[in-house]
Chains A and B, each alone.
Chain A
C-alpha cells in the first residue's frame, strides 16, 4: 500500500516537486544518506520521461508517482499513460553508445531511451512494464526505519 501517492499535471516544473517529495519520503523511510542522490536522479529521470510521454500522448492526464516503504524497502513507482517508444523497447538497459550519441544529428540531442538507460545504470532494482496503454517504472532501494 503506498505511503504517499502523488498525481501531478504533466508539466516539467512539477518534476522538481516530485523529486523533493520522493526525497522526503525516502529519508523518513530510513534510506541511507549516500543513496539519496541516486534516488533524486532516478526519480527525476522517471518523472521527466513520464511528463514527456504525457505531453505527446495524454496532456490532460496526470502523472502518478507512488512511494512506499514496506518491509525495509523503499519503492518508487512512476506510472504514465503511454507505451514504451520504439527505441526504448529495443534499448531500455543497453549501455549508451556515447560516440554514436555525439555524432548524431545536432537537432536531436539524445534519444528517447536516454532517461531509462540512466535509470538502468543507476538503480540496481528496477522493473519496467508496459500494458493496457500505461507504462510503469518501478525502482526499489533498501531502507531501515529507525
Chain B
C-alpha cells in the first residue's frame, strides 16, 4: 500500500490526512509535503494518521522534522490517532511526550497547544 495525502484548511490550521504506509520508501513524500506546507506559510499543522496502516522510525523522523520546522516559526504540530499499534511506537520512543496526540481532528482543533 502506498502513501496517500490529502490536505485541507480549518481556520488557521492545516489538516493533513495521511493514509497507507509510512516507511523508508514512502516517508520522503510526506517529508516533502510538510516542507512545502511550512515553506508556504502553514505553521499550525494537524497530521491525521488514523488512516495509516504502518509507521516506522523513518516516519517518526519525518514527523519530528516537521515539528522542528513549525516550532521554528512558533507553530504547532498535532497528531490524530487512536490505533494502538501505531501509538505503540510513539510510546516506545518516548515521543508521546513530544507530540500532542488527539483522538479526532475536532479534538485537535478545539485544543490550544
Which residues of A are at the interface with B, using a C-beta cutoff of 8 A?
A: 12-13, 15-16, 19, 37, 40-41, 44-45, 48, 51-52, 95-99, 101-102, 104, 106, 109-110, 114-115, 117-118, 121-122
Which residues of B are at the interface with A, using a C-beta cutoff of 8 A?
A: 21, 23-25, 54, 56-58, 60-62, 64-65, 67-69, 72, 85, 88-89, 92-95, 97-98
B-side contacts of A101, CB under 8 Å = 64, 95, 98
Secondary structure at chain B's binding surface: helix, strand, loop or mixed?
helix
Secondary structure at chain A's binding surface: helix, strand, loop or mixed?
helix
8 contacts between A and B (CB under 8 A): A12-B25, A48-B56, A48-B58, A97-B94, A109-B64, A110-B64, A115-B58, A117-B93
Q: Does the CB pair A115–B57 fall under 8 Å?
A: yes
- Report Cα–Cα, A44/B56, bound state, in Å: 7
**B60 touches which of A16, A95, A104, A110 (Cβ 8 Å):** A110
Q: Does the CB pair A37–B24 fall under 8 Å?
A: no
Q: Does the CB pair B94–A109 fall under 8 Å?
A: no
